[in-house]
Amino acid sequence: MKRFSPLLLVVMLAVAWFAPGTVLAHTSGHIEITSTNMYRGLDLSQGVGVNGGIDYEHISGFHLGLSALNMQQGNRAAVQAGYGSRALNWGYDLGAVYYTFSEHGEFSDERHIDYTELYGVLSLGPINLSAWYTPDMLNTDESAWYMEADYTWRGRTGIGFELNLGVAAGDYYDLAKETRPVGEPNGLLYAGQEGARVTSSYFTWGAALTRATREFTWSMGVEGTDRGSVDGEGTGDRVKWVLGLERRFDF
C-alpha cells in the first residue's frame, strides 16, 4: 500500500523557517473541520472531513503550499508551487499542483494514481476566473479540465458570501462509450459499469455564508452538480449541505 512521505512536510517547514529575509516572506497555516470534504462538486469523505495546510508566500510573488485532507478511503496530499502578482483590483497566479494518495481501496497496489495539474487564475476585484488542466488524470493517460468562476464578498462585520460556478470536461470524463476497470470508493474514479450515465462534462455550483472572527471562520453552504449516476441508479443530481469551522494561524 502506497503512502505519501512525511518528508514533504519537513521540506515545507524548512523553507518556511530558514528562507532568507523573513520580513519579505509570510508563512501561515490552517486547519478546518467540515461536515464533509467536497472537491469540485464531488463528496470525497462521505462524512466528517478534516483538511489543513501550510502556505509560504514571498514578496516576489513566489508561493509554496502543502495541504492534506481525508477521503472515504485513505488521504490525499497536495504540493502546490506558483507565482502571482496583484495590483489595484486585478491580479494573476500561475502554477502547478502535485496530488498524491495514501491509498485507494483495492486498487492501491495495482495502479499509481498520483498526477500533476497546471493552473491559471485571473482576479478581477471580487471575481476569480480559474482554469486547471492535467494531461494524465489519475494516471489514466487521459486529459481533464476544470474551469471555475468565483465571487467573494466580505462585509465589515466579518460576514461574507461566496458563490462559485464550475465545469469539468475532458477525455477522462467521457464514459459514454467506454468503461474502465476501476471503482469509485471516493468519487474520484468512476465505475465502468454498463448503464453508467456520465456525460463527457458536468457542471458544479456552490454558495456559502461565512462569519469570520479574530481566530475562526464559520461557514454554512450548499454545493451541487449535474453529474449523472455512476451505478445506473438514482437521478444523478447531487446536492450537499456543508458546515465548516476553520482556524488560521501565522508562524
How far is residue 146 from each of residues 27, 153, 164, 185, 236, measured CA to CA in Å? 28, 23, 13, 21, 19
Residue 243 CB neighbours (<10 A): 14
Question: For residue range 129-160, what is the model confidence (pLDDT) as tens digits?
Answer: 999 999 998 888 889 999 999 999 999 889 99
pTM across the whole model? 0.79
pLDDT range class, residue 173, cuts 50, 70, 90: confident
Question: Which pLDDT does position 154 carry in this prediction?
Answer: 93
pLDDT range class, residue 76, cuts 50, 70, 90: very high
Q: What are 197's three cell numbers? A: 450515465
Question: Which pLDDT does position 111 carry in this prediction?
Answer: 61
Domain segments of the chain as ranges: 7-250
Task: Provide the 8-state DSSP code for 229.
Answer: P
Question: Which pLDDT does position 138 carry in this prediction?
Answer: 85
More confident residue, 120 or 24: 120
Residue 211 has pLDDT above 60, yes or no: yes
Mean pLDDT (the chain) is 81
> Which residues are bridge partners to 112 per DSSP?
none
Percent of the chain with pLDDT over 90: 56
Measured CA to CA, the distance from residue 82 to residue 123 in angstroms comes to 15
Angle, vertex CA 105, rays to CA 102 and CA 109, nearest 5 = 70
Q: What are 62's three cell numbers? A: 513566489
More confident residue, 168 or 230: 168
Question: Which pLDDT does position 194 carry in this prediction?
Answer: 38
Question: Do 130 and 162 contact (CB within 8 A), yes or no?
Answer: no
Topology annotation, domain 7-250: Porin (2.40.160)
Measured CA to CA, the distance from residue 108 to residue 86 in angstroms comes to 41
Q: What mean pLDDT is predicted for residues 204-212?
A: 96
Question: For residue range 221-249, what is the model confidence (pLDDT) as tens digits?
Answer: 999 988 754 444 434 447 899 999 999 99
pLDDT range class, residue 163, cuts 50, 70, 90: very high
